[in-house]
Structure 1
Amino acid sequence: MQANRFVSRDPRDGQVFAERPSWQRHDTRQALTAATQAAAHWASSTLAQRAALLRALGEALLLASPVLANSIQREMGKQYAEADDEVLRAAKWCQFLAEQGPAWLAPEPGAHGQIWRRPLGVVLAVTPWNYPVWQIFRPLAAALLAGNAVLIKPAPNVAQTSALVEMICRELLPKGLVQCLWTDEVGTREALADPAVSMLVCTGSEATGRQLGALAAHHLKPAVLELGGNNAFIVLADADIAAAAEAAAQSRCLNAGQACTAAKRFIVVEAVADAFRHALRAALAHYQCGSTLAPLARADLRDKLARQVSLSVEQGARCLLGGQPAGGRGYYFPATLLEQVTPGMPAFDEELFGPVACLSVVADSAAAIALANASRQQLAASLWTRDTAQAAPLAAQLQAGMLCLNSRPTSRFALPFAGSQASGFGSTLGRDGLLAFTRPVAWLAG
């Protein structure tokens, strides 16, 4: 955000193509009032009515997919096919919840009665820029089905896409039920502190999560925080090296590596280190700036990534591929491979939000687990081995919110999507994620 304005800039050439002013305080107040009124009416609707509207919302997303995908590509640089997949995922999530969610929200039998699920009221969703449609609908669909109103605080650089989402919701849903808050960080904190807001959902950096999470706690409001992911990708001696290398390259280069669930730290046992290094370098080399590799979303993100790589090399990491920002227009950073990455380097200690793979070699599986757990920011972890018998006991030692065997980390609608330690807490998918938007009520009948 620049001078109280939301600025949309095409990362492919750096040109500004749209701006919108930030709200004044009275605008936020009006939105809070409208959301409170809408939440009261929505809470009295039936689950069947909510599910029907959620289903219609998914269908509307499918119809609007070309427009939304173009907007995503223009605002944050994503490849069109990936942007289209993002919209499709959001639509499928709406449809999945419309089918499965009512059963999860039904009264549960208890020892002396029933457990009812009631909505919380108004949910404030602070959303990021890297998946500007999916990251809105991930909490939005569940919050709506649970009976809540939702206020969306969009990331400043994806305002046009967020406005399109808001327009789609307004055409289908009751007035005031879903609104964007076009405000700055101060206005966001004021909205969170307001008694009208009942819950916080925040997807963003650890620093943002700590600040907003502390404010929510101060005002005794529940919060779900999905923060950074400095995720480990462990390759053991019996792994399928070709498949692991291909998945590793995809994890680092899809969406230009700008995904919190993406693998960042590649920890390989010594017996297959040479083979994996060679295969990963070849797989990364297929991603070329401007054709198969998108730019980073902003200039400051590209510059930060360049500093992290440069400082890591100064501290002893070895660059085998890429390593410096691409020349010319746009915020491109080439696919990069660093080896000899150790704790204490930015490439190990910090989340590298871009197409940079960081390779560390260890003696055995025990050393791999220990090195993986050296980060407190493990949202997801991958374990690669053909020995399925040893996989579960090893995975159980990993301190991550999601554990994947022989696949790159991706969330599933039916399973909880939750962080671990500094990567956040709470869930926004699965039954756990849906129930997070409710409060349990004990009904004691006699």
Structure 2
Amino acid sequence: MQTVNPTTGEPIETYSEHDDETVENHVQRAADRFESWRDRPITERQALVASIADVLRENEEEYATLMTREMGKPIEQARAEIEKCAWVCEFYAERAAEFLQDERVGVHPQARTKVSYDPLGPLMAVMPWNYPFWQVLRVAAPTLAAGNTMILSHAPNVTGCAKAVEQVLADAGFPDGVFTTLLIDTETIHDVVADDRVAAATLTGSVGAGRAVAETAGRHLKPTVLELGGSDPFVVLDDAQLDRACEVAAQARVNNNGQACVASKRFIVVDDVYEEFRDGFVREMESLTVGDPTDEATDVGPISRADLLDTLETQVRETIDAGATVLTGGETLDRPGYFFEPTVLEDVPDGSPAACDELFGPVASLFRVEDEAEAIELANDSDYGLGASVWTQDLDRGERIAEAFEAGCTFVNEIVQSHPRLPFGGIKNSGYGRELAANGIREFTNEKTVWVSPSDGLDE
């Protein structure tokens, strides 16, 4: 496994994959540790989760620099990611016991009935590279607080981040075996998911990877949570505040160099304001500074890997060949590293990659529709269903449209985002299950019904 700096294309470090014996030892250690970790008072588990936040903040610049070096995230956004990780840890450190407390249910005057939430066991987590700390810790904080242990298989191009996260938890005081990182290939990932000692699996990544892990877990009757791709619509209505909508639209498309599952990708604009929005949006995209992500002035850094840049370039070229018009950008940059220009495409044909697929990079697709009804229809005409947003000054109208969107997360006058206090996840090819909030911590627990009746039975 080799990490490469996407800003320069130069190798950073090479890591050896774990051999079969090491994998076996790590899985057994996670299973053994679960037996004691599950019985540790939840207040102690919460305190350790809170300590993660302290370690993250103490070393914020180190971790942010590592992220930027391995996957090209602008340094300011990398710092923000570390802060968000600290926030989610603090959230579960405060609320885990509340979310997992027994729920009393009235069934009969003489019976004591409740629902309890018990941990399941070791969780296999397969995580992507685009938010290398957040993707891991948004799962780890609730999973570990609930009393499960966790085995991580991270994307190879952020192996340094994977090892850093493992060290963060060690420095926070977690016992050996509660959180384990495995450096393994795809075949071994499936072997671990299938292992009888592993209780459940979660994956954030592509649709293909999600289907494969879900199939393996399904054969062994193990619960899964999948957070897959997105092609989020950004709907602009005739009464939107256009200056703000244009500015936010550019941010929504290029945040994290355009490599975010919840990034707005399809910009659907009603006819009355289409041209004004189009012109303003193009100006905003053209104003962005592309360059070295370690430079504080950089808005857009590189695509994270050479093969991902090749895929993006192919998708854009096929869309143009199918009849789309390039309003700005459309090309790779002639410089070291894996850079692609901020791009806006117009007249995007049905069935082309920019209309149907997830483009992971700073490429926006513009669609002109006649009215609100057509906007909703086009927004929902996608195999994905992660997030969606609508922009309007009529809040009742916006809420009605948000409820009509076929997506797991819908927003009015806000960028689609994950928030520790709210459940996060999608439908259709964007996956299933929920992360964050109370929903996320309960996903990998046994919701157990407990019924206690008097020894002489219940009165009729």
Fold equivalence (TM over 0.5): yes
| Distance (Å, rounded) in 1 between the aligned partners of 2:216 and 2:258 | 30
Residues 322-361 of structure 1: matches in 2 within 5 Å? Answer: 322-361=329-368
The answer for the alignment partner of 1:139 in structure 2 is 139
TM-score by length of 1: 0.98
The answer for the alignment partner of 1:292 in structure 2 is 299
- 1:42 counterpart = 2:37: yes
| Distance (Å, rounded) in 1 between the aligned partners of 2:68 and 2:402 | 36
The answer for the alignment partner of 1:3 in structure 2 is none
Where 1:111 maps in the other structure, the secondary structure is: coil
| Distance (Å, rounded) in 2 between the aligned partners of 1:8 and 1:253 | 23
Q: Comparing 273-282 with 284-293, which one deviates more in the overlay?
A: 284-293
CA contact (8 A) 1:340 1:359 kept: yes
| Distance (Å, rounded) in 2 between the aligned partners of 1:429 and 1:282 | 36
Post-superposition Cα deviations, 1:334-389, rounded to whole Å, max 9, x if no partner, equal: 10000111321100100010001100000001101111111021210001111112
- 1:310 counterpart = 2:310: no
Residues 33-432 of structure 1: matches in 2 within 5 Å? Answer: 33-112=28-107, 113-171=113-171, 172-290=173-291, 291-432=298-439
| Distance (Å, rounded) in 1 between the aligned partners of 2:289 and 2:399 | 36
| Distance (Å, rounded) in 2 between the aligned partners of 1:367 and 1:434 | 38
The answer for the alignment partner of 1:26 in structure 2 is 21
| Distance (Å, rounded) in 1 between the aligned partners of 2:243 and 2:385 | 24
Where 1:326 maps in the other structure, the secondary structure is: coil
The answer for the alignment partner of 2:443 in structure 1 is 436
Q: Which amino acid aligns with 1:331?
A: Y
Aligned residue pair count: 441
The answer for the alignment partner of 1:17 in structure 2 is 12
| Distance (Å, rounded) in 1 between the aligned partners of 2:23 and 2:408 | 35
| Distance (Å, rounded) in 1 between the aligned partners of 2:405 and 2:81 | 29
| Distance (Å, rounded) in 1 between the aligned partners of 2:271 and 2:10 | 46
- Over aligned residues, Cα RMSD in angstroms? 0.8
Cα deviation for residue 238 of structure 1 reads 0.4
Give unmatched runs, 5+ long, in structure 1: 1-5
Cα deviation for residue 292 of structure 1 reads 2.3
CA contact (8 A) 1:376 1:420 kept: no
Give unmatched runs, 5+ long, in structure 2: 108-112, 292-297, 454-460
Larger-gyration structure (1/2) = 2
- 1:7 counterpart = 2:7: no
Q: Which amino acid aligns with 2:303?
A: L
| Distance (Å, rounded) in 1 between the aligned partners of 2:252 and 2:309 | 18
| Distance (Å, rounded) in 1 between the aligned partners of 2:222 and 2:235 | 37
Identity of aligned residues (%): 36
Cα deviation for residue 23 of structure 1 reads 1.1
Cα deviation for residue 111 of structure 1 reads 2.9
Q: Which amino acid aligns with 1:206?
A: V
CA contact (8 A) 1:342 1:360 kept: no
Q: Which amino acid aligns with 1:190?
A: D
| Distance (Å, rounded) in 1 between the aligned partners of 2:132 and 2:427 | 23
Cα deviation for residue 390 of structure 1 reads 1.5
Post-superposition Cα deviations, 1:168-222, rounded to whole Å, max 9, x if no partner, equal: 2123101111010111101101000000110111000000001101111111000
Runs of 4+ in 1 over 4 A off after TM superposition: none
TM-score by length of 2: 0.95
